[in-house]
Every structure is written in C-alpha cells, then in structure tokens.
Structure 1
C-alpha cells in the first residue's frame, strides 16, 4: 500500500483519485465511482464528493492508497 499526502483535510474522493493517479481526470474518476470500482475503507463508495480524512484507505482495481496529511 502506498501513501498519498494531502495539504489539508478533508479532500473529496474525486479529487483524491486524480491526486493519487488512480484516475486520469475528473471524467475518469466519475466513471470509476459510478461503476462501483472505488472502495473506501472496505466499502463501495458511490459519492464523488465523499470526504476523505487521514487514515482512510482507497482501493481501485487492487491499487491501495492511504490518505495522509502533510505536516
């Protein structure tokens, strides 16, 4: 599992997918979410605006990424 740092929390799921390079752009992020391919903390997440906080784990196609806040 890799970690992606954000400058402040919370961050929206769609933004995080782009930042973590799990999605190419906003349209791709939306498609992944609508298709049920995004899991947050073990559950399918269908809300692009879901708020992520430090320690949350996002999984897309087997790629696990945890959220960390930059000190």
Structure 2
C-alpha cells in the first residue's frame, strides 16, 4: 500500500534531497543524497539521480512506499 503525502512548498523550486529530509523519509541530508544517487527515487515516474534536482508544484516524488504530491501555498 502506498502512502500519499501532500507537500506544500513555501518557496519554489525546492531541492529534491531537502524534500526527502524535511518530510522525514530519510534520517539525514547525506542519506537523502545516497538514496537519490542509488536510483531509488522517482520524480514524475522517472528515476532521478540528481541530488539537487529542482522540484516544482505539480511534481510527483516516489520513494519506497511513499508518493509525495508537490503543491504551493499560493
């Protein structure tokens, strides 16, 4: 079963590694960078290996059993 989480960005773009860290899907920024580099994260259904990939409203991040739908508060 997939948990879907809505993530509201206060400022866009945001870096992929920071979103994983701030949403507590990993323990640290270093771990976020490792899982991204290992190809374990998808952005908009494509494997993403760029740690500082810019994420915008409308993007979908998938990691393990989590799906993060990105929106803004504006």
Q: Over aligned residues, Cα RMSD in angstroms? A: 0.9
- 2: distance between equivalents of 1:36 and 1:54? 22
SS of the residue aligned with 2:70? Answer: strand
The equivalent of 1:28 in structure 2 is 31
Q: Which runs of structure 2 are paired with 1:1-71 in the superposition (5 Å)? A: 1-71=4-74
Aligned structure 1 segments of 4 or more residues deviating by more than 2 angstroms: none
- 1: distance between equivalents of 2:40 and 2:13? 21
Normalised to the residue count of structure 1, the TM-score between the two structures is 0.92
Unpaired segments ≥5 residues, structure 1: none
Normalised to the residue count of structure 2, the TM-score between the two structures is 0.88
Q: Is the 8 A contact 1:20 1:65 kept in 2?
A: no
